Amino acid sequence: MVVNRIINIQLATLGECIKNNNLEALAFAVLIKQKFVSSSLHYSKKRWNKTNTRALCKMFKVSPSKLQQVTSNGFKLGLLRKEGDCIISNPLREYNTLRVKIPFAKRFYTLKDVVRVLRNAWATYYISRVNFIEYKVNMHKGGVDSVKSKSEYKALKKDIAPIYDSIRGFSSDISYEAIANECNITRLEAIRVINTLEAKGTITKEKNIAVKPYLPIESLNTLNELKGQFFFNSVNKRTGERVTLVQKPNSYKTSNLVNKLIRVDKTLSY
């Protein structure tokens, strides 16, 4: 990917916009920064012999009502400001706060594209938080006093409900429902987010499948009504024996690159 622009976004701002359904407003502010180095959109400039509104709708691939909505919400949230006949995207980072550095390729982005990019970034951050907690729990169990108090250790266990494995140590299973809730999207959209991140190499996925004694199909139908795991029958290729497999939520690990993109901001630039 040929990087055209790297934009830093405060994670607290990103999380707040996702939680309150204002992600499109943030995406519009990011899109202005991505398209214009000055972070300034000259909205009265003549483009393609169209009116100002129609020209901007063509530029950002949105309807007039959507353009009105995202600009209005952007002003209300302090993501945008108006100076003369320019709409300026305000700084999206703050000194000494946690930020994510998002690289944008040298290509055309629509508002929907940027919404997906921001959503993927938040899902990655969520997985990285879980990974960090797993690390702290494993260090504690390994005899290293990185988690100093039992109360803190118990709080960490409540956050991720770690499961102990003799080989893997403590690990956390993250369901699609958990990702959907965290990103304020549907379960199907959460699956697409994970597939995208895995395809890009941002995360790696480890499937968690347990082998159980064979159960009749009637029992499986009842068990599959419960959330969090999926039961299905299969055949052991080695022995020919029929068994029941339990697909539990997957485990995920972020790549080393993620640690470089999510950092505490120590600069004052845009």
* Closest by Cα among 200, 201, 206, 198 to 251: 206
- pLDDT of 3: 54
- pLDDT of 29: 96
- pLDDT of 1: 47
- pLDDT of 164: 58
Question: How many residues are listed for the chain in this entry?
Answer: 270
Tens digit of pLDDT for each residue in 100-130?
999 998 888 999 999 999 999 999 999 988 8
- pLDDT of 270: 46
Q: State the CB neighbour count (10 A cutoff) for residue 238.
A: 6
The Cα–Cα gap between 257 and 254 comes to 8
The Cα–Cα gap between 118 and 249 comes to 24
* Closest by Cα among 202, 203, 177 to 190: 177
The Cα–Cα gap between 40 and 83 comes to 9
The Cα–Cα gap between 97 and 264 comes to 5
* Those residues with Cβ within 8 angstroms of residue 245's Cβ, 6 or more apart along the chain or in another chain: 209, 210, 211, 212, 231, 232, 233, 234
* Closest by Cα among 123, 130, 125 to 181: 123
Tens digit of pLDDT for each residue in 51-76?
788 888 888 889 999 999 999 999 99
Amino acid at 21: N
- pLDDT of 105: 86
- pLDDT of 259: 82
Low-confidence ranges of the chain (pLDDT < 70): 1-3, 140-171, 227-228, 267-270
